[in-house]
Amino acid sequence: MSGHRLFRFPKPAWLNSANTRTAGVYTAGALFSLGFFAFIDAAAFSKSPKNGSDPPIHINFVDWIPGICSALGMLVINSIDKNRLNGDSFSYSGNGVAWKARLVLFLGFALMAGGLAGSVTVMVLKYIVPDYPFPTLWFGVANVVANAMIMLSSAVLWVAQNMEDEYTYNLAL
Amino acid sequence: MTAGLKTIIALSFVLAIGFLLIILSSALWQNYFPLLVAATYVIAPLPNWICSRAASHDDFMESSGNGIVDFGRFFTGFLVVMGIALPALLAHCGIIVFQAMVMSIFGGLLIYGTIISFTMFFQEEQDF
């Protein structure tokens, strides 16, 4: 097994333990919560009396669209069974299950990347181009932070779930 | 047995202090939003428990490979950070004052620590 390695450094041993995997799933939830509440904070701040922008700038539905796209993409990506991805050599994936899984996964990643790009677009077009000062600019920054956190959370969850496969593989041998 | 008794007494004491801090942070300013923190931390371990009941234990690798268990852990992590983020949000938006935020975060962490250490101390008695 060690002769077939591609990289010079081996993967550290703690990466394959079940505890690291559990911690990764918890971390993914924490990151998702952090991003979600950053955006909820911006939305609540825009309706609070501390929002001092002179023609009142509020968060409306346009600001919510990137976050909804990102969350949908995360749902799509993580509801796919990872074992189906490199299928087609197994017997249970007869009729192109791996192809379908890759298509749905591509849709999920497109939704997520679209969410992140859309949040940057909203920040630039709605808050940076009219040159708003900072308490109002926070609405746009929080949007980008929320989408980046959702993406990071999804990446952590993905890595943690792939870690599980390695772990069970080691256990099965 | 006395060690278990001491643990129970200490944990209930910490739990009472946590609830005292949260109720004080609500009642001192006549603003009962910080009670949401207590509710959040009380329901934070619930997804883990429910989902570990729902998981199938017939596998020999029971610690891995269960989507429902992972969902419960994800949701628990979400709720734990929510217990810190919610008072910060309320304080940032001017709904509660800063001191109430600090008291409710601290009280919530005490409550959650009590619940976690309770399950850690008395887990081995439920083993079969």
b/e code A108-137 from CB counts within 10 Å (16+ = b) = beebbebbbebbbbbbeebbeeeebeeebb
**What are A125's two structure tokens?**
């077009």
For A19-59, the pLDDT digits (tens) are 788 888 899 999 999 999 999 998 888 888 877 777 778 88
ipTM: 0.81
What's the mean pLDDT in A2-16? 68
Q: How distant is the Cα of B28 from the closest Cα of chain A, in angstroms? A: 22
Q: Is the pLDDT of residue A145 over 80?
A: yes
**CA-to-CA distance for A16 and A166, rounded, in angstroms?**
7
Domain-by-domain residue ranges, chain A? Answer: 22-172
Contact: B81, A37; criterion CB under 8 Å: yes
Average pLDDT of span B95-113: 89
Q: Do A41 and B92 touch (CB under 8 A)?
A: yes
CB contact under 8 A, B64 and A44: no
Cβ separation B77–A30 shorter than 8 A: yes
% of chain B residues with pLDDT over 90: 18
Q: Is the pLDDT of residue A92 over 90?
A: no
A66 against A8, higher pLDDT = A66
CB of B59 less than 8 A from some CB of A: no
Chain B residues lying within 8 Å of A48, measured CB to CB? 93-95
- pLDDT average, residue stretch A83-87: 65
B116 part of contact set with chain A, CB < 8 Å: no
State yes or no: pLDDT of A146 exceeds 90: yes
Instruction: Supply the pLDDT for residue B41.
Output: 87
CB pairs under 8 A between A and B: 74
Q: How confident is the model at residue A66 (pLDDT cuts 50, 70, 90)?
A: very high
Percentage of chain A modeled with pLDDT above 90 = 35
Task: Assess whether pLDDT exceeds 50 at residue A130.
Answer: yes
Rounded CA gap, B33 and B22, in Å? 10
Task: Please tell me the predicted confidence (pLDDT) of residue B62.
Answer: 47
Helices (H) and strands (E) in chain B, counts: 5, 0
| Residue of chain B minimizing CA distance to A51 | B93
pLDDT over 70 at A89, yes or no? no
Residues of B within 8 A of A168 (CB-CB) are 61, 64-65
Q: Is A20 on the interface with B (CB under 8 A)?
A: no
- Shortest distance between the Cα of B20 and any Cα of chain A, in A, equals 26
Residues of A in contact with B88 (CB under 8 A): 37, 41
Q: What percent of chain B has pLDDT over 70?
A: 84
Contact A26 B94 (CB under 8 A): no
pLDDT given for residue A115 in this prediction: 93
Decide if pLDDT at A73 tops 90: yes
In this prediction, residue A17 has a pLDDT band, given cuts at 50, 70 and 90, of confident
The per-residue pLDDT for range B41-90, each reduced to its tens digit, is: 888 888 888 887 776 655 554 444 567 888 888 899 999 999 999 999 98
CA distance B56 to chain A (A): 16
- Share the mean pLDDT of chain A: 81
Does residue A124 surpass a pLDDT of 60? yes
Of A11 and A35, the one with more pLDDT: A35
Q: How far is CA B83 from CA A167, B42, B49, B109, B111, in A?
A: 32, 10, 18, 8, 11
Average per-residue pLDDT in chain B?
82
Per-position DSSP letters for A55-69, written without gaps between them: S-----HHHHHHHHH
Judging contacts by C-beta atoms under 8 Å, the chain B residues touching residue A40 are: 89
The answer to whether residue A111 scores a pLDDT higher than 90 is yes
3-class DSSP string for A127-157? HHCCCCCHHHHHHHHHHHHHHHHHHHHHHHH
